[in-house]
Structure 1
Amino acid sequence: MIPTVVWGTGNVGRAAIRAVDAHPALELAAVLVHDPAKDGRDAGELAGLDRRLGVAATRDTEAALAARPRAVVYAAGDTRPDEALADVVAAVRAGAVVVTPALYPLYDQRNAPPEFRDPVLAAVAEGGGSLFASGVDPGWGNDVLPLLISGLGTTVDAVRCQEIFDYSTYEQEDSVRHLIGMGHPMGYEPLMLAPGIPAMVWGGQIRLMARALGIELEEIRETLERRPLDATVTTRTMGAFEAGTQGAVRFEVQGIVDGEPRLVVEHITRVHPSCAPDWPTPPDGAGAHRVIIEGRPRIEVTVEAADEGENRSAGGNATAVGRLVNAIDWLVAAGPGLYDALDVPLRPAVGRIGRRPS
C-alpha cells in the first residue's frame, strides 16, 4: 500500500479523500487542513462519506511531511500560487510523489517559467520525489481527451475544448463571486478575467496540445464576453444575484497557427440558465465538458459527470481528481521526476470495478 496524504478538503480535497480510500493500492495516511474548525475531525466526515475512516484531520503540515508519506494529493492552492509552490516543493523534497491541479504553469512543465520549474527540479534532485500537475477544469478535457479524439479524424482543422457550467449550486462562493465576478457590477474586473490571466492558467494546456500534435504556435490570444442578469435570481448555495450584475461569462484561450485559432480552450459559465441562453448549454442544464474536432469527419464528444448530489460542478472535480489520484501508483513506479499529461498514461480502473467508498 502507498501511504498517501490529502492536503486540503475543499471541492477537490473531498473528492481526493474518496478517491484515495477507493483505490486498492493507496492508503490514506493523513489529511491536512487550514481551517481550525476542521482540525481533529474524521476524514470520512469531511469527505461526505457515511462512515469514519479513522484518520483525523490535522493542521500540522510539518509532522505530516516528517512522516515521509509516499504520496501527497495537494488540493489547497489554486488561488495562492506562491504558497502552493512552496508547499509542493516541501512535499517533493520530503520524497513524496505529489499530484495537484494547483500549479497552472506546470501543466506544460517543459515550457514552464524557470521560477516554477527550477525549484521543483531542485527538490526532485534533493529528496527523490516527483510531481504531476493536471487541471481541475478538468485537465483531461484539455489534453488527453482531445488528443485521443483527434486521432480518429482524417483531417483536423481545429480542436475546441469546452467547459459549460451553471454555477448556481457551486459550493465555493468566494470564487464564483469575486474570482469570476458573478453578481458584481459589469464594470468590476474579476481576477480570473483580467487580461493575461486566462492565458496564464490555460495557456500551458494549449502548448501541451501543440507539442503533442507537432504544430508550432505563433501566439496565444484571449477573447472575453460577459452578460448581465435580466432579473434577480436566487441560488441554493450562494443566495441572491441581482439584476444588472454579471450573470454569465464566455472566454476563449486560443492557440494561433497560420493566423487562425486552431487550438481553443473555451469556458462558458452562468449563475442561472436564463442568462445568455443563446450560448452553448449543457445537455442536462447543469454542466458538461465537450471536445469538438473540426475537420473531416467533424467529431463532437460530450462528457457529463455527477457527484455529491446537488453540487453539480462536483462531477468535473471528481474526474479531475480521478486522473490525478489514479496516476499515483504509476508515478511511484516511474521514479523521481517532473511529469505532465503527455508523460502519464490514462489508467484503466484495474482492481476498482465494484469498489467504492460509501
Structure 2
Amino acid sequence: MTERRKYRVIQWATGNIGSRALRSVIEHPEMELVGLWVSSDGKVGKDAGELAGLDQVTGIHATNAASDLIALDADCVLYMRQGTDWDELTAILASGKNVVTTRGDFHHPAMIAPENRARVEEACRKGQTSIYSTGSSPGFVTEALTIPLLSLARRHDLITIDEYADVSSRNSPDMLFKIMGFGEPVGPYDQRRAEHLKGDFGSSLSQIGEAIGLPVDEIDAFGEVSATRETLQIAAGTVMAGTVGAMRTTITCKHQGRPVLRFRANWYVTTDITDAGWNLRDSGWRIRTEGDTPVLVDIHFPVPEEDYAAFTPGLTAHRPVNAIAAVCAAEPGIRTTVDLPQIVPVFA
C-alpha cells in the first residue's frame, strides 16, 4: 500500500469554529499541524493541544506574529479569523500556501470587489496557490448539497433552503442580544442584518445560479421578527415576554426578474412565538426544489440538547478541514464548489 502524504497545516484563529478545526487537524491521520495564529494576547505561547481542548502536548505554540507563520513551510492555511485582512491573506497566498477559509468573501469570484479580486488572483499566481471558501451554511447546504438535488431536474423553477437554528443553548450574550437583537422590543427589522447575510448567502447562491445557466442579476434581502409569548431563561440570559424571540431573514436571487434560488434563515430562542405561521421546527434544514422533478429534503440533527453546543461547531469546521487535499491539488486561483471535485473525508 502506498503511503499517503501528510499535509502541513497552519491554523489561523481559534474562536468557536477555529478551535474545532484545530482539534480536527491535530487528530487527522493525513495532517501535521505546523503553526497556529491567535488574535488574543492571552493565548500567545499556549500549546495547540490546550487551545483545542485536548489532553495532548503538540509542541506547536500559538503566536500572533503573522510574518513568522508566513515564513513557515506549509501546504495550507485554515483561515478562520474575524474579518478578512486582505494584506495578510494575499501575503499567505503569495508565500506558496493554499488557503481554505470560512470567510464568506470568496464564494463567487465575480462578486468580489475588483481591486481585492485582482490582488488575490495575483497572489495566487505568484505563489501557485488556490483559495476556497466553505462551511456548513453557506457552503455545504447552499452549494455542495444543492448541486446533486438540482441534477435530478431538467426544468428548474425555484429552490428554497430553510435553515432552522435554535440558539437558546448558546452562551454568547453579546452575539445574541447586542448583535442579533434577541430580547429587544419588537419593531422594524434592522435591514443592516439582512444586508450582512445577503453578502455571504447571495454570493454562494449566485455561484450556483451561474453554474446552472441562470445567472443572478438581482438579490433581494429582507427580515422579519416575532415576539416570544413567555419570558425565557436561555443560556445567554433572560428574554422577556413580548420581546424578539425569533427572526427570519430571506435572501432571494433572481434571474431576469424571476426568483430561482432562495435562502431563509429562521433563527430563534423559542418556537412559542406570536407568528405561528412561521412553522418553526427543530434545528436543521429543509430544502424544497420546484420544477419538473420536485424534491423535499428534511435534515435534522439527532443530538441530545445538552450536547448541542459542543456539536454545532463541527458542522462548520469539518468541511474546510476535509477540503484541504482537494484545494492543495487544485489549479491556482479562487476556487469554488462548482469547479472543485467532490470533497471526500479521510477517517483512517
TM-score (norm 1): 0.86
Q: Which moved more, 1:33-42 or 1:45-54?
A: 45-54
Instruction: Determine if the alignment matches structure 1 residue 169 to structure 2 residue 174.
Output: no
CA contact (8 A) 2:130 2:330 kept: no
Instruction: Determine if the alignment matches structure 1 residue 19 to structure 2 residue 15.
Output: no
Q: CA deviation at 1:142?
A: 0.4
Letter aligned with residue 70 of structure 1:
D
- Aligned runs of 1:191-230 on 2, under 5 Å? 193-194=193-194, 196-230=195-229
Q: Which moved more, 1:291-300 or 1:28-37?
A: 291-300
TM-score (norm 2): 0.88
- Of the three residues 271, 274, 279, the one matched with 2:272 is 274
CA contact (8 A) 1:181 1:188 kept: no
Q: Deviations over 1:19-42 (max 9, x none)?
A: 212332211112211122222233
Q: Deviations over 1:258-305 (max 9, x none)?
A: 5332210110000223235542434xx3x2123211234431223344
Counterpart of 2:102? 101
Letter aligned with residue 332 of structure 2:
P
Counterpart of 1:139? 139
- Aligned runs of 1:60-79 on 2, under 5 Å? 60-77=65-82
Counterpart of 2:88? 87
Q: CA deviation at 1:343?
A: 1.6
Letter aligned with residue 45 of structure 1:
E
Name the SS of the counterpart of 1:343 in structure 2: coil
Describe the shift of the 1:34–1:52 C-alpha distance in structure 2 as closer, same or farther (beyond 3 A): same
- Of the three residues 2, 5, 14, the one matched with 1:9 is 14
- How far apart, CA to CA, are the structure 2 residues paired with 1:133 and 1:107? 6
Describe the shift of the 1:274–1:86 C-alpha distance in structure 2 as closer, same or farther (beyond 3 A): farther
Describe the shift of the 1:193–1:181 C-alpha distance in structure 2 as closer, same or farther (beyond 3 A): same
Q: CA deviation at 1:62?
A: 1.9
Q: CA deviation at 1:332?
A: 1.6
- How far apart, CA to CA, are the structure 2 residues paired with 1:241 and 1:111? 38
- How far apart, CA to CA, are the structure 1 residues paired with 2:190 and 2:172? 15
Name the SS of the counterpart of 2:308 in structure 1: coil
- How far apart, CA to CA, are the structure 2 residues paired with 1:298 and 1:233? 39
Name the SS of the counterpart of 1:59 in structure 2: coil
Q: CA deviation at 1:132?
A: 0.7
Letter aligned with residue 242 of structure 1:
M
Letter aligned with residue 95 of structure 1:
G
CA contact (8 A) 1:178 1:190 kept: no
Describe the shift of the 1:293–1:28 C-alpha distance in structure 2 as closer, same or farther (beyond 3 A): same
Letter aligned with residue 222 of structure 1:
A
Letter aligned with residue 122 of structure 1:
E
- Of the three residues 244, 250, 255, the one matched with 1:252 is 250
Name the SS of the counterpart of 2:221 in structure 1: strand
**What is the RMSD of the two structures over their aligned residues, measured on CA atoms?**
2.6
Q: Deviations over 1:108-136 (max 9, x none)?
A: 11442213311211211233332111245
Q: CA deviation at 1:47?
A: 2.1
- How far apart, CA to CA, are the structure 1 residues paired with 2:181 and 2:116? 28
Counterpart of 1:336? 332
- How far apart, CA to CA, are the structure 1 residues paired with 2:69 and 2:303? 29
CA contact (8 A) 1:165 1:269 kept: yes
Q: Deviations over 1:216-270 (max 9, x none)?
A: 334111232111223321112x121233332211111101235332210110000
- What number of residue pairs does the alignment pair up? 342
- Of the three residues 276, 283, 291, the one matched with 1:295 is 291
- How far apart, CA to CA, are the structure 1 residues paired with 2:278 and 2:333? 42
The percent identity for this pair of structures is: 27
- How far apart, CA to CA, are the structure 1 residues paired with 2:80 and 2:303? 18
CA contact (8 A) 2:223 2:249 kept: yes
Counterpart of 1:48? 53
Describe the shift of the 1:121–1:311 C-alpha distance in structure 2 as closer, same or farther (beyond 3 A): farther
Name the SS of the counterpart of 2:168 in structure 1: helix
Counterpart of 2:180? 180
Describe the shift of the 1:9–1:172 C-alpha distance in structure 2 as closer, same or farther (beyond 3 A): farther
- How far apart, CA to CA, are the structure 1 residues paired with 2:204 and 2:8? 30
Q: Which moved more, 1:264-273 or 1:179-188?
A: 179-188
CA contact (8 A) 2:189 2:225 kept: no
- Of the three residues 330, 334, 343, the one matched with 1:347 is 343
- Of the three residues 311, 314, 319, the one matched with 1:318 is 314
- How far apart, CA to CA, are the structure 2 residues paired with 1:306 and 1:57? 35
- How far apart, CA to CA, are the structure 2 residues paired with 1:217 and 1:274? 36
- How far apart, CA to CA, are the structure 2 residues paired with 1:309 and 1:67? 42
Instruction: Determine if the alignment matches structure 1 residue 28 to structure 2 residue 27.
Output: no
Consecutive unaligned residues of structure 1, counting only runs of 5 or more, are none
- How far apart, CA to CA, are the structure 2 residues paired with 1:190 and 1:179? 11
